[in-house]
């Protein structure tokens, strides 16, 4: 425990007194404070007052038999402090924290869907992630729900097709999605409009909900690496890295220096290809298709490098528990550098385009504004937060892999509009290229992996990784078997998508696709 954490804990003790039940730390020294029901709100308020950049990182539910433990992971001074309450399973309810931190909205609704916990006083306690016709009293992540039985119950119903028609109602509603040319993924936003102006937005996620968190409990840790990679095909290496890091923390396993550098390389390649894909996509949404073709043409060399390194273009399956699965070949290094140089030479052209092109400026400048205040209130992460001037980057706050040893700059813009969010990504591409170059030049020698045991000792750990879209959060609880007890994944878009409601309300309908894309939403991540 750091001095800062000691100090915060002391303040919490003064504030809450005997309402603190227990103070623990996870395997990787993160504070876990259990408080009495009802005291969590005071504790969280105290933590939020500690740091003006503080926010909710995630809310995890864990079924412990008779009780459900609800963990509020609060980001304070770049680290995570967890406040825990245990509610009885029979009458699972607690009070909402949305009134003190609105960014908790979707997090609470998710726990409510999956564990059947009622958050009293929640402003909009609707179904979020499970299908519209899901039975009222089945909560899939509870331990007494057995997957095979659940599937039997669900399949025995009369019809498999019961999507709710949201277009009904008095006001004019425009249904945006789940199949829409601006959305590559299926997700629905119903927009209430008055003329050209959007008055109200109701996001409905859950179209890609595959129940991955439950599925992880039925697979071994090794199998789970491949499963979590398929939470999101775009940032697959980040999911694998975060999962493996968390498991390594529980095991107390140190990975070789070479593996750390190789992980950094693949993570940065992931970031670059993801940002380029987004910038190209943003090009189509603002009606600039040439830009899309340019970006995707220049993205191909990156895909070639990923293929060279891992054997696959998209899903890398490169990172594993204890290191990485393949070593890099000395002969490969000059080839990789050559490919990266192709992109590097093109970057000034794009930078100039973004700064001076009238089409891009007209469609993105002063559009979709998210102020710094709102960004903090809604607990957004990654390039969305950095585009609103919030200095937040897990690579700097809590360095993992080799980020602690490699020099790079955190990119922030203060404008808070679509343009700033796109610029953050453009600049991060060039930072990423520099990181890879540095890592290739300073690649330590030695082994690239250590063997890890299949059985993981009982314990819990929290870990984070800066994915292309922002802070990716994993909580893993193990039980001394080869299968995890609980894996909680909070993906960056899950934190960011709530802010779309604030951005869209009051804006012009024609700007909706462009502002949505500037958040770089990844719905397969969001829904899991």
Footprint of another protein (CB under 8 A): 130-132, 134, 140, 147-148, 150-151, 154, 160-163, 178-181, 184-186, 206-212, 214-215, 226-227, 230-234, 236, 277, 280-281, 292-293, 296-297, 299-300, 303, 313-315, 522, 524
CB of 234 to another protein, least distance (A): 5
Instruction: Give the nearer residue to another protein in terms of CB position, either 29 or 163.
Output: 163
Instruction: Give the nearer residue to another protein in terms of CB position, either 37 or 150.
Output: 150
CB of 148 to another protein, least distance (A): 8
* DSSP β-ladder status, 188-194 and 31-35: unpaired
| Residue pair 233/273 in contact by the 8 Å Cβ criterion | no
Instruction: Give the nearer residue to another protein in terms of CB position, either 10 or 149.
Output: 149
Token pair in block for residue 173: 């509603």
Task: Give the Cβ contact number of residue 90 at 10 Å.
Answer: 7
CA distance linking residue 497 with residue 378, whole number of Å: 10
Task: Give the Cβ contact number of residue 442 at 10 Å.
Answer: 12
Instruction: Give the nearer residue to another protein in terms of CB position, either 95 or 317.
Output: 317
CB of 291 to another protein, least distance (A): 12
Q: How far apart are the first and last CA of the chain?
A: 32
What is the strand order of the sheet 197-204 is part of? Answer: 173-176, 188-194, 197-204
CA distance linking residue 7 with residue 112, whole number of Å: 33
CB of 350 to another protein, least distance (A): 16
Instruction: Give the nearer residue to another protein in terms of CB position, either 181 or 358.
Output: 181
Cα 354 from chain centroid?
Answer: 27
User: Within the chain, what is the greatest distance between any pair of CA atoms?
Assistant: 68
Q: Name residue, tokens 């409905």.
A: 204
CB of 17 to another protein, least distance (A): 43
Alpha-helical (H) ranges within 116-231 are 147-155, 212-216, 221-229
CB of 178 to another protein, least distance (A): 5
Instruction: Give the nearer residue to another protein in terms of CB position, either 31 or 497.
Output: 497
CB of 134 to another protein, least distance (A): 8
Q: Which of 367, 505, 499 is nearest to 55 (CA)?
A: 499
Instruction: Give the nearer residue to another protein in terms of CB position, either 7 or 307.
Output: 307
């Amino acid at each position: 425990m750091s001095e800062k954490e000691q100090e915060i804990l002391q303040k919490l003790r003064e504030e809450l007194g005997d309402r603190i039940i227990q103070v623990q730390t996870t395997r990787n020294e993160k504070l876990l404070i259990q408080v009495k029901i009802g005291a969590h709100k005071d504790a969280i308020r105290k933590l939020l007052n500690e740091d003006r950049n503080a926010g909710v990182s995630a809310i995890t539910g864990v079924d412990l038999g008779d009780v459900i433990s609800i963990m509020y992971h609060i980001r304070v001074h770049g680290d995570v402090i967890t406040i825990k309450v245990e509610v009885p399973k029979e009458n699972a309810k607690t009070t909402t924290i949305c009134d003190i931190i609105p960014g908790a909205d979707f997090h609470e609704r998710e726990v409510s869907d999956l564990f059947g916990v009622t958050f009293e006083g929640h402003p909009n306690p609707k179904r979020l992630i499970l299908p519209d016709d899901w039975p009222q009293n089945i909560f899939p992540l509870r331990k007494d729900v057995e997957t095979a039985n659940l599937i039997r119950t669900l399949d025995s119903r009369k019809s498999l097709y019961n999507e709710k028609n949201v277009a009904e109602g008095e006001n004019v509603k425009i249904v945006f999605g789940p199949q829409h040319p601006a959305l590559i993924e299926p997700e629905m936003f119903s927009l209430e409009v008055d003329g050209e102006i959007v008055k109200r937005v109701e996001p409905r996620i859950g179209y890609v909900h595959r129940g991955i968190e439950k599925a992880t409990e039925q697979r071994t840790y090794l199998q789970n690496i491949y499963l979590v990679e398929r939470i999101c095909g775009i940032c697959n290496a980040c999911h694998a890295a975060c999962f493996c890091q968390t498991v390594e923390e529980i095991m107390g396993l140190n990975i070789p220096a070479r593996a750390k550098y190789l992980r950094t390389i693949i993570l940065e390649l992931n970031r670059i290809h993801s940002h380029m894909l987004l910038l190209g996509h943003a090009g189509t949404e603002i009606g600039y298709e040439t830009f899309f073709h340019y970006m995707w043409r220049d993205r191909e060399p990156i895909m070639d490098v990923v293929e060279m390194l891992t054997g696959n273009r998209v899903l890398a399956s490169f990172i594993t528990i204890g290191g990485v699965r393949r070593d890099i070949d000395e002969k490969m290094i000059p080839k990789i550098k050559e490919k990266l140089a192709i992109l590097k030479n093109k970057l000034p052209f794009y930078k100039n385009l973004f700064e001076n092109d009238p089409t891009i400026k007209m469609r993105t400048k002063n559009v979709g504004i998210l102020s710094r205040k709102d960004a903090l209130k809604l607990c957004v992460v990654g390039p969305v937060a950095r585009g609103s001037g919030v200095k937040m980057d897990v690579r700097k706050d809590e360095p993992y892999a080799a980020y602690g040893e490699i020099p790079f700059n955190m990119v922030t813009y203060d404008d808070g509009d679509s343009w700033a969010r796109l610029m953050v990504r453009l600049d991060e591409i060039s930072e990423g290229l520099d990181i890879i170059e540095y890592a290739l030049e300073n690649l330590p020698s030695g082994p690239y992996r250590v063997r890890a045991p299949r059985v993981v000792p009982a314990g819990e750990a929290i870990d984070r990784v800066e994915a292309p879209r922002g802070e990716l959060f994993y909580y893993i609880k193990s039980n001394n078997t080869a299968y995890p007890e609980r894996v909680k994944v909070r993906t960056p878009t899950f934190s960011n998508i709530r802010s779309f409601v604030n951005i869209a309300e009051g804006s012009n309908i024609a700007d909706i696709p462009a502002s949505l894309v500037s958040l770089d939403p990844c719905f397969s991540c969001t829904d899991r």
